[in-house]
Structure 1
Amino acid sequence: MKSTISLNRAVLLALSCSLLAACGENQTEKAPPVTINTDPFPSTYQPMASEPTLITNVTIIDGIGGMIESGSVLMLDGKISAVGDTTKVPEGTVVIDGTGKWLTPGIIDVHSHLGVYATPEANAHSDGNEATNPVTAQVWAEHSIWPQDPGFSRALAGGVTSLQILPGSANLVGGRAVTVKNVPNRVVQEMKFPGAPYGMKMACGENPKRVYGNKGGPGTRMGNVAGYRQAWADAQEYQEKWDRYYAEYAADKDPKVPKRDLKLETLAGVLKGEIIVHMHCYRADDMGTMLDVMKEFNYQIGSFHHAVESYKIADRLAQNNVCSSMWADWWGFKMEAYDGIKENIPMVHAAGACAIVHSDSDLGIQRLNQEAAKAWSDGKRAGIDISEADAWTWLTSNAAKSLGIFDKTGSIELGKQADLVLWSENPFSTYAQANKVYIDGALAYDRDDPASWPVSDFELGQPGEGDSK
Structure 2
Amino acid sequence: MSNKLAVSLIALALAACASAPAAKPKKASDEPRVPAPWTTDPYPSTYRAYPGTPTLVTNVTIYDGEGGRIDGGSVLFADGKIVQVDQSIAAPAGATVIDGTGKYLTPGIIDVHSHLGDYPSPAVAALSDGNEATSPTTPEVWAEHSVWPQDPGFSRALANGGVTTLQILPGSANLMGGRSVTVKNVYARTAQAMKFPGAPYGFKMACGENPKRVYGSKGRMPATRMGNVAVDRMTWQKAVEYKRKWDKYEKDGGDIPGRDLAMDTLAGVIDGKILVHNHCYRADEMGNVIDMAKEFGYHVTAFHHAVEAYKIADMLKANNICAAVWADWYGFKMESYDGIRENLAILQKAGACAMIHSDDQNGIQRLNQEVAKALAAGRRAGVAIPDEQAWTWLAINPARALGIADRTGSLKPGKMADAVLWNGNPFSTYTRPEKVWIDGALLYDINDPKRRPVSDFELGQPGEGDVK
TM-score, normalised to structure 1, is 0.90
Give identity over the alignment, percent: 63
How many Å separate the matches in 2 of 1:433 and 1:30? 62
Q: Does 1:32 align with 2:46?
A: no
Report the CA distance between 1:388 and its aligned residue. Answer: 0.5
RMSD of equivalent CA atoms: 2.3
User: Where does 1:70-469 land on structure 2 (aligned, <5 Å)?
Assistant: 70-84=72-86, 87-157=89-159, 158-215=161-218, 216-249=220-253, 255-459=254-458
Q: SS where residue 426 of structure 2 aligns?
A: coil
Report the CA distance between 1:119 and its aligned residue. Answer: 1.2
Report the CA distance between 1:85 and its aligned residue. Answer: 5.9
How many Å separate the matches in 2 of 1:459 and 1:413? 35
How many Å separate the matches in 1 of 2:319 and 2:108? 27
Unaligned runs of 5+ in 2: 1-11, 461-468
Unaligned runs of 5+ in 1: 1-11, 250-254, 462-469
Report the CA distance between 1:231 and its aligned residue. Answer: 1.3
How many Å separate the matches in 1 of 2:336 and 2:421? 35
**Contact (CA 8 Å) 1:82, 1:414: kept in 2 or not?**
yes
Q: SS where residue 228 of structure 1 aligns?
A: helix
1:87-126 Cα shifts (integer Å, max 9, x gaps): 4542110000000000000000000000000112100011
Give 1:403's aligned amino acid: L
Distance 1:246 1:259, change over 3 A: same
Q: SS where residue 252 of structure 2 aligns?
A: helix
How many Å separate the matches in 1 of 2:281 and 2:129? 23
1:205-234 Cα shifts (integer Å, max 9, x gaps): 000001010331100111111111111111
**Contact (CA 8 Å) 1:74, 1:86: kept in 2 or not?**
no
1:34-61 Cα shifts (integer Å, max 9, x gaps): 3355210000000001000000000000
Report the CA distance between 1:298 and its aligned residue. Answer: 1.7
**Contact (CA 8 Å) 2:76, 2:89: kept in 1 or not?**
no
Give 2:331's aligned amino acid: G
Give 1:34's aligned amino acid: V
Give 1:272's aligned amino acid: D
How many Å separate the matches in 2 of 1:74 and 1:458? 35
The more displaced of 294-303 and 165-174 is 294-303
Give 1:237's aligned amino acid: E
Give 2:139's aligned amino acid: A
Aligned length: 440
How many Å separate the matches in 1 of 2:235 and 2:429? 45
How many Å separate the matches in 2 of 1:299 and 1:31? 31
Give 1:248's aligned amino acid: D
Give 2:44's aligned amino acid: P
How many Å separate the matches in 2 of 1:310 and 1:450? 43
Report the CA distance between 1:131 and its aligned residue. Answer: 0.6
**Contact (CA 8 Å) 2:29, 2:252: kept in 1 or not?**
no
Give 1:173's aligned amino acid: M
Q: SS where residue 324 of structure 1 aligns?
A: strand
Distance 1:348 1:460, change over 3 A: closer
User: Where does 1:2-13 land on structure 2 (aligned, <5 Å)?
Assistant: none
Give 1:44's aligned amino acid: T
Give 2:436's aligned amino acid: V
Distance 1:270 1:29, change over 3 A: closer
How many Å separate the matches in 2 of 1:138 and 1:29? 30
Q: SS where residue 68 of structure 1 aligns?
A: strand
How many Å separate the matches in 1 of 2:289 and 2:178? 17
**Contact (CA 8 Å) 2:59, 2:72: kept in 1 or not?**
yes
How many Å separate the matches in 1 of 2:390 and 2:122? 33
TM-score, normalised to structure 2, is 0.90
How many Å separate the matches in 2 of 1:395 and 1:47? 22
1:367-401 Cα shifts (integer Å, max 9, x gaps): 00000000001100111011001111000000100
Give structure 1 regions of 4+ aligned residues with deviation exceeding 4 angstroms.
28-31, 85-88
Q: SS where residue 190 of structure 1 aligns?
A: coil
**Contact (CA 8 Å) 1:205, 1:282: kept in 2 or not?**
yes
1:336-381 Cα shifts (integer Å, max 9, x gaps): 0111111111111111101110000000000000000000011001
